[in-house]
Structure 1
């Protein structure tokens, strides 16, 4: 990484052009490309050999060449040990049993090696041939082999290499040491040229050929390959099969108390296929994971294509009933499918590390799955800007893309030019979001592993090649939505146990029938609720008039970019609202395949259905198409072949090209964004759970939302939502607040965590002292019991955390300064309480306006209405409630900005959607079409005044903006004329109160 300049596939292409038939891939301290090198080599008629170039930094030690897979395992073990422990390599290699060692010519000369073991050789490059006769190494005739490193193809590669080395060394290109670079002549030569160069020493060629011919590496990439995951959960296959059947039988009464022949038939069909495909242990391992989670009382959600499975439902891996939703069995599993179904198991972000540790402790041969972070525009510009010595301001400007090429200076032009060399190149290895591998063979059979800060071994290959070789990941993910549910339940269990006992959060069937919950969905009152709170989702729910679980399942997938991009989101809405339109517009075959979604592809399995029934592809080819949609396989030849067959088959069936390409474009537009229906159903289950809590325990739920990182919006809007739901909001208090937010009745106390400048250890000391010795009686009592600096206590006083004393905060600040002094900072407890001297403090007062600006500074938002901070009070009280009355008319309205979505028209013109709060605290939406977006800009947080036209699309009201202006706040009274600011503020408060009473 940050050294090589072209891919393993390009290397194979280069080798074929140079008549090479055996090739050793030996990356530096890395095996990332090894598996794909072997996979692709047969296409180029090349016999692959794998090895590792062991170096300390860029200083070569030796090259290890695997004689066979066992030798590759040895090399990977050795490399991994050094990578994990950060150890340097020794000058001499260990005694490998199944691997050769090649020492560079230069190193042998320097170290004056006198003897070599059977497996050890000396590498000679074309450059070394001039010095060979004078080196004294010709006496080791049988040990000399060709070692011609291949790092570049041309000058362009060399330039890219120098840039990568400068980036890796964090140095200016002009200061890059030649010692950090490869020699420019590290190129591949045609075989005849190589033979000619070594013609005076034919024995070197013979030694090399003999060495290479003795090496053989094999990984099974065939379509019929066996899974390489842990083969048996128990000791053998018979025990596994018996256990899986037994667990399913035990799950039947819980999931299907009414029984039914259809359930038994589906279960039998699934079990037969799971056993036949060799996926039994995969299901049992997932069962083991979720069983442990339930024992720990951890909240989890199982989703992914595996949610289409009745076996997964019976094993409680998922909570999605495939019979109720008529989930497509072939999406979950079919005989043509090499890989098992995908299970994504979401845990609370707090529980996930415990679950990961459990998996590593419970099973052998476990690793996190790696992923490659590639060079993209911003990263490239930032790194290249540093390499060329650009100032930060210019780098930022280039990163934003906000420049005209013709106005750039020479250095900036170079930066932009050289991004083309690095675009898409791997930058460094990272960790897959949730993938864990549990293998039958040792982990290092496939690659070496890294040891990132998380402390778990991580593979040097990604999920794509892992699946190719038969390694299928277990996805263990952390999700804040589940943390919100779990914390709400914890609050209720602690504070309102009688309410906690009234419901079962897993009783989804009851939630689906609850009219209160369904009405929240229909009216899009979903702030804080999982997956349904964003402006786009709120808009879709209103347009679809969704008021059922099944409607929400569809909406969860329709909102995905794939459906929207193809233009079928709008078509789906039209057909949903006008049931006759589907018969009129949809192709009869499409409508017959997907009657539930009006002939519109919405789910991943719809693509399989269309490919199978519309284009007559077999299920294996349809599955290739599904995988290709993810983008991971889109460039692969098998995907291209299936695309061609799709079109050919449709033509043979007599469809005209207009229809064929319209359907194909819909398929192609899914590109990684479509959900499996079971996956959408899992999301909808979690949405219903959060909607239930929001409907019946809104304040507890909002506190849990705030305490777990919020959601789509900034924290202040969840605080606002809590206020709208009946909470009285209090700033932090040393006697009542915790580090997180706290609800007592309808009083919501903000946590110390919002005070960005307050040190964590200070809040910890406050809470510890309060638990041990009770609440604080006064500022003096607090200062006696909690050790902290004047700067830290000032933050607490300024936010009014001592308001229980009834003393003005300015007076408290005087007292704190007199008690502690400006520089006093004590980090150890006082043994005895000191005697306090009484001081005469002048009478001081604090205004509401000053408090609002202090809150803005310390919390990031004020607890009063932002409209009270305007210099000029609003000229009207128009709000969301008035939109219907102004339909197709112009409106003048003020709004506090919540969020802006920047997007582009299909022609590429920028436009914007913005969501705002009106003066009554209700939400409204605006749209700025390209001409208006070009003329007006949102300039950060604050209040904007809009003039525009109220329009309705499928019943969703929004404002098409014609003019807008950001309104000014009053001056901060702490740094301005206090009397003037306060006078304006009090006048506006009075006017606001009058308007409310009216």
Structure 2
């Protein structure tokens, strides 16, 4: 058989946003696909789409077609012999978005997986619809009535018996079988890092981690020749893979603002309401006319109207009005202080005319990203404001932003030392004096800039090995947390744009962080708590 006779696309890929499982960033995966001459690549992180926008942009930059998906799981708690059993490998299925409707469905399912205690993966497969591909190697997930785009999946490292069973099942039930490698790392050299992540996730040591918790050694980003060598005897699985890649044509609406719509009576426009409120503000702030006031107001209102942001200003004005009505101290700050409109609406307290502040620093016709208005509230009353926002604009259209907590030098070194069996006292000695922003990739710089770290036995072989592994952990996401103040409000149900999850302490947050949310064109309002 001639080599490279099959085109191939990896359809089951985990980045480091499959927290404590994958090792590669979305950018690294896109670069690897381009390097190997692959025309398309899918991202299917476990139970989340945190890295999807980052991956989408990286693929576009690398000239690779991005396919957005997710691997959804379900732990089987079905009774066996009168007791509960936990499936060592949970039920899994990969969902790939064929189009924009598929992306919305993907976000809905992923949100349900994270927030719905009664989530059923079998039901999700049955309800997938025509805008999602579903890939699985679990026969328990094969529904009685097959969805239009239901696919069985085989990998290059799957046991021969299971592979043949899936191929026979596909032929018997007339279900297409596709090739996917369920990859967790980019190269063979990354296997040790994947093992360390598994140890951290399961609180195990290097020697005693459960092998079933560690990705297979062959679960890596293989090139086309390697995949052909593994499964070239089954050309039909490559044909199915190619067909799936060709059918997935999702175009995200990046660069276009999706501003919340302020509820108004029929016949009244947002621009008209905003101008009316500004006129009332002139009476409160100035009493009588002032030179340059009308010209400045007309200019600002013109820019706001042309950019379609009148609804946004009305929304912020109502938040501020609620706080003042409840006796909650409020301070608007940042570049918003340059705006006469913000001053007239009571959002800020600085007169931009008196201090000759330039509106263009806050907003202008050339600016593509939304304006940034920071609102400060007392820490002990911030929750009142946030809860009111959810009630006023709808819990299905409001979410708190997430932030990604990543391994830094101290946490990476501490966890790696524990995994490799170093004692707690010795591990503390290694980490306690490390500067917060130090990088283990440059120990010489640490020695130069932190004299208290010079007594660390850097040349000891065991310590050197720990340092080398820990340095590779730096920057890898560990978990999601709650943004200190960011709230996003959307014009449609929020799962039309992104998926939600539950962070620590039960707070529901966006899966993508603030940077991806911005790329999606959603507007952020900072509701900040201040102790001062």
For Structure 1 versus Structure 2, the TM-score category normalised by the shorter chain is 0.7 to 0.9
> Equivalent of 1:397, from 429, 432, 441?
429
- Judge conservation of contact 1:142–1:203 (CA < 8 Å) in 2: no
Q: Retained in 2: the 8 A contact 1:34–1:447?
A: no
Shift of 1:86: 4.8
Q: Is the 8 A contact 1:55 1:89 kept in 2?
A: no
Superposition pairs of residues 809-848 of structure 1, within 5 angstroms: none
Question: Residue by residue, what CA displacement relative to the aligned partner does 1:753-788 show, whole Å, maximum 9, x if unpaired?
Answer: xxxxxxxxxxxxxxxxxxxxxxxxxxxxxxxxxxxx
Equivalent in the alignment of 1:253: 283
Question: Is residue 2:245 matched to residue 1:212?
Answer: yes
SS of 2:44's partner is: strand
Shift of residue 453 of structure 1? 4.9
Distance 1:430 1:443, change over 3 A: same
**Which residue in 1 is equivalent to 2:302?**
272
Question: Is the 1:61–1:89 Cα contact (8 Å) retained in structure 2?
Answer: no
Corresponding position of 1:974: none
Whether 1:19 and 2:49 are equivalent positions in the alignment is no
Alignment partner for residue 373 of structure 1, among 382, 385, 405? 405
Q: Which fold has the larger relative contact order, with Cα–Cα distance below 8 Å and residues 6 or more apart in sequence?
A: 2
Q: Structure 1: any 5+ residue segments left out of the alignment? A: 482-998
Name the CA shift for 1:406/1:193 in 2 (closer, same or farther; >3 Å): closer
The whole-number CA distance in structure 2 between the counterparts of 1:80 and 1:7 is 22
Q: Distance in 1 between matches of 2:468 and 2:338?
A: 49
Please name the residue that 2:82 is paired with. none
Whole-angstrom distance in 2 between the partners of 1:348 and 1:111? 50
- Tell me the CA shift for residue 397 of structure 1: 1.5
**Residue 187 of structure 1, aligned match among 203, 214, 220:** 220
Distance 2:39 2:264 in 1: 44
Quote the offset at 1:445 in angstroms: 2.5
Asked if 1 retains the 8 angstrom alpha-carbon contact of 2:154 and 2:178, the reply is: yes
> Which residue of the partner structure matches residue 157 of structure 1?
190
- Secondary structure of the residue aligned to 1:174 is coil
User: Bigger radius of gyration, 1 or 2?
Assistant: 1
Task: Tell me: CA distance 1:112–1:248, structure 2 relative to 1, closer, same or farther (3 Å).
Answer: closer
Residues 1:48 and 2:88 are matched in the alignment = no
Cα shift at 1:195? 4.7
For the residues of structure 2 that align with 1:413 and 1:289, how far apart are their CA atoms?
54
- Offset at residue 60 of structure 1 (A): 4.5
Q: Cα distance 1:444–1:179, how it changes in 2: closer, same or farther (>3 A)?
A: same
Are 1:322 and 2:352 counterparts?
A: yes
Looking at structure 1, the residues matched to 524 and 374 of structure 2 have their Cα atoms a distance apart, in angstroms, of 10
Query: Using the alignment, how far apart are the partners of 1:82 and 1:354 within structure 2?
Result: 29
User: Secondary structure of the residue that 2:178 maps to in structure 1?
Assistant: strand
* Aligned position for 2:206: 173
Which residue of 2 is the match for residue 121 of structure 1? 151
Matched residue SS, 1:52: strand
**SS of residue paired to 1:351:** helix
Contact kept? 1:390, 1:412, Cα under 8 Å: no
**Is residue 477 of structure 2 the alignment partner of residue 477 of structure 1?**
no
Task: Give the Cα–Cα distance (whole angstroms) in 2 for the partners of residues 472 and 462 of structure 1.
Answer: 13
Bigger helix share: 1
Any conservation in 1 of the 2:375–2:527 contact (CA below 8 Å)?
yes
Q: Corresponding residue for 1:302? A: 332
User: Is there any run of 5+ residues in structure 2 with no aligned partner, and where?
Assistant: 1-18, 76-88, 435-451
What's the counterpart of residue 443 of structure 1? 494
Deviations 1:492-533 (A, max 9, x none): xxxxxxxxxxxxxxxxxxxxxxxxxxxxxxxxxxxxxxxxxx
Contact map agreement 2:198 2:214 (CA 8 A) in 1: yes
Please report how far the alpha carbon of residue 63 of structure 1 lies from its aligned counterpart in structure 2 after TM superposition. 1.0
Aligned position for 2:134: 101
**Counterpart secondary structure, 2:109:** helix
Instruction: Write the distance in 2 (CA, Å) between the matches of 1:6 and 1:28.
Output: 14
Q: State the shift of 1:208 in Å.
A: 2.1
SS of alignment partner, residue 373 of structure 1? strand
Change (3 A) 1:133 1:173: closer
1:23, distance to aligned residue in structure 2 (A):
1.6
Instruction: Give the distance between the partners of 1:44 and 1:21, measured in 2 at CA.
Output: 10
**TM-aligned CA distance change 1:423 to 1:237, over 3 Å:** farther
Once residues 235 and 451 of structure 1 are traced to their aligned partners in structure 2, the CA distance between those partners, rounded to angstroms, is 35
Distance 2:367 2:389 in 1: 26
Post-superposition offset of 1:6? 1.0
Q: Deviations over 1:430-481 (max 9, x none)?
A: 1111000001232122332112355542101111122222112000011112
Shift in CA distance, 48/360, structure 1 to aligned 2, threshold 3 Å: same
Aligned mates of 2:136, 2:226 — CA distance in 1: 23
For residues 36-115 of structure 1, what are the structure 2 equivalents within 5 Å?
A: 36-56=54-74, 59-86=90-117, 89-90=120-121, 93-97=125-129, 98-104=131-137, 107-108=138-139
**The 10-residue stretch of structure 1 (238-247 or 113-122) with the greater mean CA deviation from structure 2:** 113-122
CA distance in structure 1 between the aligned counterparts of 2:218 and 2:31, rounded to whole angstroms: 19
Counterparts of 1:166 and 1:201, CA distance in 2: 36
Report if the CA contact (8 A) 1:390-1:411 is conserved: no
Structure 1 pair 296–91 and aligned structure 2 pair: CA distance change class (3 A): same
User: 1-side partners of 2:392 and 2:491: how far apart?
Assistant: 14
CA positional deviation for 1:43 = 1.8
Is the contact made by 2:136 and 2:151 (CA closer than 8 Å) also made in structure 1? Answer: yes
Residues 1:382 and 2:424 aligned together: no
The answer as to 2:7 corresponding to 1:7 is no
Deviation at 1:347, TM superposition (A): 0.6
Query: What SS class does the counterpart of residue 353 from structure 2 fall into?
Result: coil
Q: What number of residue pairs does the alignment pair up?
A: 475
Distance 1:396 1:335 in 2: 54
C-alpha deviation, 1:139, in angstroms = 3.0
In the other structure, the counterpart of 1:288 is 318
Contact 1:142–1:207 under 8 Å retained in 2 = no
1:356 corresponds in structure 2 to: 386
Corresponding position of 1:902: none
Counterpart of 2:529 in 1: which secondary structure?
A: strand
Residue 427 of structure 1 and its aligned partner are, at CA, apart by: 1.1
**1: distance between equivalents of 2:266 and 2:467?**
59
| Superposed counterparts of 1:190-201, under 5 Å | 190-191=223-224, 193-195=226-228, 197-201=230-234
Give the Cα separation in 2 of the matches to 1:198 and 1:415.
Answer: 38
2: CA distance, partners of 1:433 / 1:170: 29
Q: Name the structure 1 match of 2:442.
A: none
Residues in 1 aligned to 2:65 and 2:265: alpha-carbon distance in whole angstroms? 37
Q: Cα distance, 1:15 vs. partner? A: 0.8
Matches within 5 A, 1:697-736: none
Tell me, what secondary structure is at the counterpart of 2:126? Answer: coil
1 CA distance for matches of 2:38 and 2:217? 21
Alignment match of 1:414 (pick from 465, 487, 492): 465
Q: Is the 8 A contact 2:398 2:488 kept in 1?
A: yes
Question: Is residue 62–residue 103 contact of structure 1 (8 Å, CA) maintained in 2?
Answer: yes
Counterpart-to-counterpart distance in 2, 1:329 and 1:35: 32
Match of 2:515 in 1: 464
Given that 2:409 and 2:471 are in contact with CA atoms closer than 8 Å, whether structure 1 keeps it comes out as no
Residues 22 and 129 (structure 1 numbering): CA distance in 2 closer, same or farther, change over 3 Å? farther
Give me the whole-angstrom Cα distance separating, in 2, the residues matched to 1:112 and 1:334.
Answer: 55
Question: For residues 407 and 219 of structure 1, do their structure 2 counterparts lie closer, same or farther at Cα, with a shift above 3 Å needed?
Answer: closer
Cα displacement (A) at 1:392: 2.6
Runs of 4+ in structure 1 displaced over 6 angstroms?
Answer: 110-115
**Alpha-carbon displacement from aligned partner over 1:514-566 (angstroms, at most 9, x marks no partner):** xxxxxxxxxxxxxxxxxxxxxxxxxxxxxxxxxxxxxxxxxxxxxxxxxxxxx
What is the aligned counterpart of 2:178 among 136, 142, 145?
145
- 3-state SS of 1:76 partner: helix
Residue of structure 1 in register with 2:48 after alignment: 30
Change in 2 beyond 3 A, CA 1:276/1:113:
closer
Superposed CA deviations along residues 556-587 of structure 1, whole A, max 9, x for unmatched, are xxxxxxxxxxxxxxxxxxxxxxxxxxxxxxxx
Rate the CA distance shift 1:393–1:190 in 2: closer, same or farther, 3 A: closer
Deviation at 1:255, TM superposition (A): 1.2
